[in-house]
Structure 1
């Protein structure tokens, strides 16, 4: 009989196969899960009629010609002074100080004519000023 003490091996836990199995399960769950979509709501959006929006009482259109003349709305101004332009802007501003001044200046108009309109708008207490532009034919694609 052999009475030698046997070497007892300590049990080893190998975690690498366990991690591999968990990663496979995780990938399977990620690929098979469907996410609910909240963007599938049925909405009925309002329709805008462009022709009804053409009447804009807050807008004051002023045109500056290449010669430096001014046209407010459809009324040409005889005087080119800042005070005359300011008086014309005050008369055309139906919404008062909430009106928006839209400057339609010719490309060849002198800079001083546009600055005169901006100064007249300031004197008329119209602080919202914008410039009208048009797209060039070369810029269209």
Structure 2
């Protein structure tokens, strides 16, 4: 039989594709594991400025005000906190609100305050269930 194939000038060649498929699957797994899937985007943010101050009638009688100074220290209703930890801020907010998460909250931050401090204040409010959250803005100074 081998002689018949050679006489006709054709020889059956078999190519084994199993190792090739194994290499391709290994490469796919390697690229899937080593690829970063986070999206790094850059966005220009224009912070708002207030054109007019709110009237006294617009502010409710009971309000919780969280102030963040330039060093990242917290003040709840003008009383300084002992540290800038999330749990300390949550305890102070719980004490001031008496557990009432329906009270409106205003977060006022210095222009040079660390962004992390503002995010911590917002996180504390969210964890305690405050949903009436306002960020204070300053009126632009007159030239």
Query: What's the TM-score bracket when you normalise by the shorter of the two chains?
Result: 0.5 to 0.7
Partner of 2:77: 73
**Equivalence map 1:1-141=2 (5 Å):** 56-57=61-62, 59-93=63-97, 96-138=100-142
Q: Is the 8 A contact 2:101 2:131 kept in 1?
A: yes
- Structure 1 CA distance for aligned equivalents of residues 59 and 112 of structure 2: 28
Q: After the TM superposition, list the runs of 4 or more consecutive aligned residues in structure 1 that deviate by more than 4 angstroms.
A: 50-55
SS in 1 for 2:84: coil
- Structure 2 CA distance for aligned equivalents of residues 131 and 56 of structure 1: 18
Q: TM-score, normalised by structure 1?
A: 0.56
Highest CA radius of gyration, 1 or 2? Answer: 1
Aligned length: 89
**Stretches of structure 2 lacking an aligned partner (at least 5 in a row):** 1-54
Shift in CA distance, 125/76, structure 1 to aligned 2, threshold 3 Å: same
Q: TM-score, normalised by structure 2?
A: 0.55
